[in-house]
Structure 1
Amino acid sequence: MSYAHLDAYSRLLRGAHETVATSAVATGRAWPESPRHLIKASWRRSLDAGIDPEGKSAPLVCDPASIRDIRAAHPLQPLLPLLAQTLSGLADETGHIMIVTDGDGRVLWREGNHAVLSSADHIGLAAGHQWGEQNVGTNGIGTALATGRPVHVYSEEHLMRVLHIWSCSAAPITDPDSGRVIGCVDVSGTARTLHPATVALVAATAKLAETQLALRMHERDERLRRRFESLRGRPGILLSSTGRVISGDPAGGLGDRVHLGGPFPPVTERAGRRLSLRDGTAALLEPFSDGYLLRPTPSAAPPTLTLSLLGERNPTAAIGDDERPLSLRHAEILALLTLHPHGLTAEQLSFHLYGDAGNPVTIRAEIHRLRGQLGEAIAAKPYRLACPVEADFMTVRRLLTSDDPAGLARAYPGPLLSRSESPEIRRERDELEAQVRAFLLRRGGPDELWVYAQTCNGRDDYEVLERLAALPAGDLRSVAARSRLLL
């Protein structure tokens, strides 16, 4: 792109940025058309996260004294010479800097032009500072991590005005062992000097790092496999420390990976843990060298997941006796997985929740957080519930086919996730409400209709109140119904 084209694009971006930063959010006016879709979507996420366009720096989130230990423990530490050899020489010669972050956007390493490094200090582009979108808004590192792909962010495409003299090309790095994004490699410089094509080199460097990680992973696997094969009888199934199936499951019943739940602690901290497998059976996890042996115990039934999603109370989930509150988004995901027992991909979940505007990356992040609460109850590829489930709205569904109006009235405290805007949940909610109302009007007596009249939709239901108002004048339910009809 020529400097003339860059100048023209910069002028368009400045106008768009001014509209978004000052008036569009406050007044509800239409968003400008100038930025690319990638940037516009990032601006929306950043503003939703409360980013101030007039902010001055990325936050410092790590104690400088702890950076050395964090670096030493990070899986990219052994690959730093490779990354530096590939990018930092170019960065130094052309007036740029190379940045390597962890999977949360925390800067761990940087190299390059000394003058640019000095300028970078002023905006927190330095070790220990965090560059996620939720911290500084649209930027190469944060947007690459948010979208899961290489990106180039030019000048005024940054949401924070202080970053408009910068441009950056960044690409996420995925660990083939854990399947998680563990870092990001970035080249940053002034807007005029960093060519957009730099993103191709950065993306190639990230792929090179992933290739090296895969080679190291296969070497570890081979060492584990040799130790496993030396065992007499080869008991159990061999897993890596991150849950990948290495040996002992020739039929592939476990899939590629067993979800171990949450971040990966030292192997010994998971010793003796009971897991629920994808077929619903339980298994014990035992440490073995740098990995695990998984010993299925089919006779041990996994705990039941109990979902309470109906009515005006806050939704909850319980694993056995351990009940926990759910955010609306997590409740929606669990409701959809209950309705689709064979599972849904991230793309399908995203469509059911958000329609065409959905983003599978957002769903994967939500599933990761949900697994932190429910652990092995949620399996992957596709996402599905891997344990017995009892959901109050499914109980209501079953009662609609029975001859038990009293049981149905007791089981239905109100609509399914009444605040949800998910297209599929709205359909399920409306259908369930209509069926319960029709069933109770057709087969229920005064007691059942009175229970329904306490729900948010039943309180003002004219036909239900008329039925109750027809009760004898001394019946308090009749008095209450007539009072509501007069309002």
Structure 2
Amino acid sequence: MRDLISASHQRSTRLLGTPNNAHPELAIARDELAAWQADAPLAPVYDLLDELVVQPARESGLVVALANDEGRLLWVDGAHRTRGQAEDMGFVAGADWSEAAVGTSAPGTAIAADAPVQVEGEEHFAPAAHGVSCTAVPIHDPATGRILGVLDVTGDRDAAAPHTLALLRAAVAASEAELQLHRIQQPAATRVPKLVPPAAGRIRIRLLGRANASIETVDGRSVELSPRHSEILMLLAWHRDGLSAAELAGYLHPEGMRPATLRAEMVRLRQVLATIDPTIELRSQPYRLDDRVSSDAADVLRAIGRGAHRQALHDYVGAVLPASDAPGVVDIREITRSTLREAVLTQGSPDAVVEWLELPGHDLDVDAHFQALRLLPPRSPKRAAVVARLESLEGNDVA
């Protein structure tokens, strides 16, 4: 099983227990659906996506879905027969297809990983989805980088083919450009994201390759966080819609935390954040972080989503908080590593694969060594080093 799918199955098991509990629920009442669709941040791209994706999908017997950032399906369209099959498994507008509801699926897993995902047949966690394959690509707010939702294609094996992923990447790029144009054309008073003051600078959390996170502002101020505060900030930066106290406690410790202990940590964290920027908001009910805050781990995944593998490799200076054993951080660490690895090995250039092998801790990746040999030209001087490492790992002459 592929790394990204395996990590998703682990999350799904923790969230749902068994596949028998994976059932999409209708999260939006039918009489509220039209108003909800019209108010969605992705509403400006509906017509564009109909032209770019829905019409070709209909001709190919596939179904297209657009989900919001919570994994709830805004609309589903495409081939009539395939739509009937999709309806039978609850793949309808207003349904919740997040990992928390159905486990591993292209829409929900693309949101959880903030990366393109292809899921084939029985890789789905929910048994009802074992008869279909799907591809999903996240759509981001071009102003803030925040994930707005995902574009999905579902159907037979063609739904998870390489050309489908390429089509969705292009459609998402066009959608993000359309969103940017829409934002520019709006009156100035309505353009500013609700949580971002007009003059606010971007705030970054550096997590990669560090025992403790560092939070930095664009004007050069920085502060190193404690291990626990590093974990909390990482989790809230990842879960942009916020976490309840119980969810956050579960992500921090396998047995959870006492509410009073968690509240005390949040009070102390607010005090630390105030020392670097008093305007940073750390909200409660649910706990949610200011939209200005982004992490270097998220930057890596966004670069992968754009197909910028060399940029992602350059930015990936080490694992996410490698000293942490908090369950939620372990998941994010593995998602980041495995997503980058899979993208480099399946879509990267020969030099990108070699660069992956040169990162700390990757010298034991046998499959990556073989992939490098498959991609490198026969006369490349880099082959010798790859062969030498393989021989030391396997004790065989693979030249």
Query: What amino acid sits opposite 2:79 in the alignment?
Result: N
Q: Does 1:63 align with 2:29?
A: yes
Q: Deviation of residue 218 (structure 1)?
A: 2.3
Larger Rg, first or second structure (1 or 2): 1
Give the structure 2 partner of residue 460 of structure 1. none
- Paired AA for residue 224 in structure 1: A
Contact 2:44 2:178 in 1 (8 A): no
**In the alignment, does 2:84 pair up with 1:118?**
yes
Q: Which of 27, 32, 38 is the matching residue for 2:4?
A: 38
The residue type paired with residue 326 of structure 1 is L
Aligned to 2:107: 141
Q: Distance in 1 between matches of 2:151 and 2:24?
A: 17
Alignment counterpart, residue 240 of structure 1, candidates 188, 192, 211: 192
1:128–1:244 Cα change, 3 Å: same
1:326 maps onto 2:278 in alignment: no
Q: Kindly report the root-mean-square deviation, in angstroms, between the aligned alpha carbons of the 2 structures.
A: 3.8
In structure 1, the partner of 2:372 is none
The answer on 1:185 being equivalent to 2:151 is: yes
The correspondence for 1:255, drawn from 179, 193, 201, is 201
Query: What is the distance in 1 between the residues matched to 2:14 and 2:140?
Result: 26
| Displacement of 1:242 | 2.2
Tell me which residue corresponds to 1:402. none
Distance 1:54 1:377 in 2: 34
Q: 1:116 to 1:76 in 2, by over 3 A?
A: same
2:164 aligned with 1:198: yes
Quote the Cα distance in structure 2 between the aligned partners of 1:69 and 1:337: 37
Question: What does residue 161 of structure 1 align with?
Answer: 127
Instruction: Please state how far the C-alpha of 1:191 moved relative to its aligned partner.
Output: 3.3
Residue 136 of structure 2 aligns to a residue whose secondary structure is strand
Matches for 1:56-455 after TM superposition, within 5 Å:
57-177=23-143, 179-191=145-157, 194-220=160-186, 223-224=187-188, 240-246=192-198, 249=199, 254-256=200-202, 314=258, 316=260, 326=262, 371-373=283-285, 380-381=292-293
Query: Aligned partner of 2:125: which letter?
Result: L
Deviation at 1:341, TM superposition (A): 8.1
Query: What's the offset of the Cα at 1:68?
Result: 0.6
Aligned to 2:134, the other structure's residue is in SS state: strand
Distance 1:90 1:333, change over 3 A: farther
The secondary structure found in structure 2 opposite 1:60 is coil
Residues 380-425 of structure 1, C-alpha deviation per residue, up to 9 Å, x if partnerless? 5478xxxxxxxxxxxxxxxxxxxxxxxxxxxxxxxxxxxx9659xx
Question: What one-letter code is carried by the residue in structure 2 that aligns with 1:371?
Answer: R
Larger proportion of helix: 2
Distance in 2 of aligned mates of 1:94 and 1:152: 18
Contact kept in structure 2, 1:53 and 1:161, CA below 8 Å: yes
Kindly provide the CA deviation profile for residues 309-331 of structure 1, in whole angstroms up to 9, marking residues without a partner as x. Answer: xxxx9454xxxxxxxx737xxx6
Task: Give the TM-score of the pair, scaled to structure 1.
Answer: 0.44
Residue deviations 1:442-461, cap 9 Å, x none?
A: xxxxxxxxxxxxxxxxxxxx
Shift of 1:42: 0.1
Q: For 1:109 and 1:135, how far apart are their aligned partners in 2?
A: 18
SS in 1 for 2:283: helix
Distance 1:255 1:239, change over 3 A: farther
SS of match in other structure, 1:255: coil
Instruction: Call closer, same or farther: CA 1:314–1:55 in 2, change over 3 Å.
Output: closer
- Contact in 2 for aligned 1:61/1:129 (Cα 8 Å): yes
Q: Closer, same or farther in 2 for the Cα pair 1:202/1:372, shift >3 Å?
A: farther
Structure 1 residues 336, 44: CA separation in 2 closer, same or farther (over 3 Å shift)?
Answer: farther
Task: Indicate how the Cα distance of structure 1 residues 177 and 191 shifts in structure 2: closer, same or farther if over 3 A, else same.
Answer: same
Identify which of structures 1 and 2 has the higher relative contact order when contacts are C-alpha pairs closer than 8 Å and 6+ apart: 2
Aligned pair in 2 of structure 1 residues 241, 164: CA closer, same or farther (>3 Å)? closer
Distance 1:381 1:42, change over 3 A: same
* Structure 2 counterpart SS, 1:146: helix
Equivalent in the alignment of 1:48? 14
Deviations 1:144-177 (A, max 9, x none): 0001111111112111222111111101111234
How many residue pairs match? The answer is: 247
Q: CA deviation at 1:371?
A: 2.5
Cα contact 2:49–2:171 (8 A) shared by 1: yes
Shift of 1:202: 1.1
Aligned mates of 2:62, 2:136 — CA distance in 1: 13
1:76-106: CA deviations, max 9, x gaps?
A: 2221110011111121111100101111111
Q: 1:164 to 1:240 in 2, by over 3 A?
A: same
Cα deviation, residue 111, structure 1: 1.2
Aligned to 2:395: none
Change beyond 3 A, Cα 1:146–1:332 = farther
Deviates more, 1:134-143 or 1:156-165: 156-165
Change (3 A) 1:199 1:278: closer
Conservation of the 8 A alpha-carbon contact between 1:62 and 1:128: yes
- 1:334 Cα offset (Å): 6.6
Change (3 A) 1:125 1:242: same
Secondary structure in 1 matching 2:112: helix
User: What is the SS of the residue equivalent to 2:135?
Assistant: strand
Unpaired runs of at least 5, structure 1: 1-34, 226-237, 258-276, 280-312, 317-324, 344-366, 384-419, 424-487
Give 1:205 deviation, angstroms.
1.2
Rounded Cα–Cα distance in structure 1 between residues aligned with 2:271 and 2:288: 15
Q: Structure 2 counterpart of 1:218, which letter?
A: I
